[in-house]
Homo-oligomer: A and B are copies of this chain.
Amino acid sequence: MGESHKVVVIGGVACGCKAAARLARLDPAADITIVEQGSVLSYAGCGLPYYIQGKVSELRDLTSTAVGVPRNPNFFRSVKGIRALLNTRAVRIDRDAKTVEVIQLDTGVTDTLHYDQLVLAMGGRSVQLPIEGTRLDYVFGLRELRNASAIRDALASGNIQKAVIVGGGLIGLEMSEALRTRGLDVTVVELMPHVLSGLLDTDMAVLLENYITDQGVRLVCGERVVALQGDSGSVERVVTDKQTLDAQLVLIAVGVRPNAQLAIDAGLEVGPHGGIKVNERMQASDPDIYAGGDCVENRHLVTGDWAYVPLGSTANKHGRVIGTNLAGGDDTFPGIMGTAIVKVFGYNVGRTGLTEQQALEHGYDVVSCVAPGADRPHYYPGARQIIVKLIADKKTRKVLGAQIIGPGDVAKRIDVLTTVLSMGGTLEQVANLDLAYAPPYSEALDNVIHAANVLRNIIDGVAVKVSAAEVMSRIEQGEDFVLLDVRSPQEYEAARIEDPRVRLLPLGKLRGAFDTLPKDKPIIAFCKVSLRGYEAQRILSNAGFTDVSFMEGGVSTWPYGLKTAPAASAAADARGEQA
């Protein structure tokens, strides 16, 4: 690098600004220019749903530093020593000449910028629906600040009662909360059979969907939106392949793709998802060109496959690595774990690694469990439930992935399991983690330790589980078995599974009631969360019953509806005898 080390950065949001700032701190000779086609730099795009919801009151909160300084070109020049060109689009890269052709969008004036090294941080772009009507008024995307402003203005008009969100991914669900909280009638239409497709397994998605529906959001899964219609310029209807939905506002959130055309045109390699291919140093196929953020693909650290998971957290990490390497250092970004978290009303929904389905597809010898539990001791005020699904490989006993949902502290457990995954940890290592214990924070054995122990019991054949879905399938096939509810009569009265196979026999009475249970039928025990169900399975196995299992998750994760009306007194009496 010579006296003046010219670096051009295309894209001024997360990765681009981070790379530029890091380089500026490390290399006094760096002459850095950020080229940004938008009108703002380094905005907090992840905050947009919260601005629409009203939790963030001012848009400028998303474009300022923590102490309220706007992150505008003046800030970048005076604080960082970086030149930033706004409303300027890079239109062509000439790798031989090492130049970038740019155009000022306001004036049409073009310019050619020379670079010694180039950073591509063009971000992602919203997937467009190839249907009629997307240009109607009140049809929005949510990628830029101006989208959020327009939606908030529309809401302020008071003319919007019904909203349809197309897409049940992370943004779609965040926006379902935002718009429902603003008083709208909200429907989410998802093409796939379940929301958060690819992020949650079906069993967990169903539990989340039940919760979202309880919040007054209508979920329409497995339907394709085929047209948006409106007779006077504004959207009025969303037409799917099965029905027509009224809507005065439509938000399209069907995913993000890499904004990599500039790189493709310059002959750089892209991966299977259309993102720029980079090595661990974040160099593209031209070593003088670095790329990061939402326009690149990453290695998935469990499978080694290329993956496209655009996140601000990853973009910032990319930026730092790029900045270091631009300054002559040698830093690497190994890849991602597919971690994601989203707040949906009062539920926290987190996931990392592979789903059970993905693990099966990758050929692992998969074992999983669903373990609900309180996030703190029951006696401590504010203890709330979380449901942990843990996925591991039976042979290596390594953790492969996790999904956790519920009103309790999900983020902590997902972050612990992400860390375990990053280090290739086994269930035994999870079970013995010295996690921080005091009643305000966790049970003596944290939920992830409990889940790891459940999974160890399953692998070792000590615990024999069936899933709620399997129980329902066996009911539907008319199989004859005992569905043994080992909770108390009070719990049974409050909420129970209604099926003739169900028999109430509280755990404390079980050891005295072996004679009343059939030796020739399967017995599936369950309780509220599976602790007593598992205990019952062990008691019956130890007593010589041969076809005994427990239903994992208990009534806490039974997705098919519980009867909550008081049990008919005759039935209660009859069962009381056995209780």
Contact = CB atoms under 8 A, between A and B. Distances in A.
A487 interface: yes
A313 B422 contact: no
Nearest to A353: B434
Contact of A333 (B425, B432, B449, B512): B432
Interface stretch (A152-160, A226-234, A373-381): A373-381
Interface centre among A26, A337, A428, A542 (most CB of B within 10 A): A542
A340 interface: yes
Contact of A415 (B314, B338, B415): B415
* Size category, A interface: 35 or more
Given A25-B462, A433-B422, A508-B79, A444 B46 contact: yes
Interface centre among A14, A46, A56 (most CB of B within 10 A): A46
Interface string A335-373: 011111111000010101000000000000000000000
B412 A423 contact: no
A159 B429 CA distance: 51
A299 B317 CA distance: 36
A431 to B, nearest CB: 7
Please tell me how many copies of the chain the complex holds: 2
Contact of A312 (B425, B429, B444): B444
A436 B352 contact: yes
A436 B440 CA distance: 22
A333 B432 CA distance: 7
B28 A380 contact: no
Nearest to A382: B55
Contacts of A409: 411-412
Given A81-B539, A433-B419, A444-B14, A343 B379 contact: no
Interface string A425-447: 10011011111111111101110
A44 interface: yes
Interface centre among A65, A339, A415 (most CB of B within 10 A): A415
Contact of A436 (B46, B67, B75, B340): B340
A62 B341 contact: no
B542 A28 contact: yes
Contacts of A348: 440-441
A223 interface: no
A434 B418 contact: yes
Contacts of A80: 535
A237 interface: no
A504 interface: no
Interface string A377-392: 1111100000000000
Closest 7 CB pairs of A and B: A28-B542, A423-B423, A313-B437, A341-B436, A337-B434, A412-B412, A66-B378
26 contacts: A28-B542, A44-B439, A46-B437, A46-B438, A47-B380, A50-B439, A56-B379, A67-B487, A67-B488, A67-B491, A69-B488, A78-B508, A174-B438, A301-B434, A313-B435, A313-B437, A313-B446, A317-B432, A337-B434, A340-B436, A341-B436, A341-B438, A409-B411, A415-B433, A419-B425, A423-B425
Given A46-B439, A419-B433, 6 more contacts: A25-B462, A67-B487, A317-B445, A339-B434, A343-B441, A423-B424
